[in-house]
Amino acid sequence: MDTDGQCWRRMRAFDVRMEPPDLFQSRMIGDLEEADVHVFHDLMYAERSRHGRLIWLADCSRLGDLDPGARRTVGQRDFGHLFWAVIIHGANFRQRVLVTMMFHAARLLSRDKDRKDLQLHFVPDEAAGLCLVEELRLAAMPPPRNSEVRPVTHASSHPSRRGTRVVS
């Protein structure tokens, strides 16, 4: 599905898009069934194997309900190793409560270190989610090496001065 000038693919009850290097976006549409959860997990697993751990930006503004089979499958499938951050926008109060409870239960019960550092964020809209993606990426960048921390701000023509260099 091609909307707003970007390449979205329709996958059962949701649209998805992968934005390299690490952003997986989805738009949930309508009620989710058990088969939707299986397809969604398999798709995310394939993207993770191509791109590494992902940030998932999920639009839940048009999400309906999860049938009992879908809820059970969400609990059984291991989504924690796929992402290092989940950002949700458009979720109603009930959805936020359910997601938060499932998220914390999964973190408490997991022995997987990747799940321990998984972050969950709720934001008001997609624009705020994209801003948060950039903030998370910057925060996850490794610290610069010492040589990169001290850029040359004052150049001296005197070659014997320590810590300076000649600039012509």
pLDDT digits (tens, 9 = 90+) for 125-159: 999 999 999 999 998 877 666 555 555 555 555 55
Q: How far apart are CA 25 and CA 7, in angstroms?
A: 11
What residue ranges of the chain have pLDDT lower than 70? 1-6, 106, 109-116, 143-168
Question: In terms of pTM, does the model score above 0.95?
Answer: no
Q: How far apart are CA 99 and CA 91, in angstroms?
A: 10
Give the pLDDT of residue 124: 95
What are the residue ranges of helices labelled H in the chain? 34-51, 68-76, 93-109, 113-116, 126-140, 146-149
Give the pLDDT of residue 118: 81
Give the pLDDT of residue 105: 73
88 pairs with which residues across the strands?
58, 122
Q: How far apart are CA 130 and CA 124, in angstroms?
A: 11
Give the pLDDT of residue 55: 94
Give the pLDDT of residue 6: 64
CB atoms within 10 A of CB 113: 8
Give the pLDDT of residue 167: 46
Give the pLDDT of residue 2: 40
Per the CB < 8 A criterion, the answer to whether 91 and 60 are in contact is yes
Q: Count the residues in the chain.
A: 168
> Who's near 69: CB < 8 A, 6+ residues apart?
33, 34
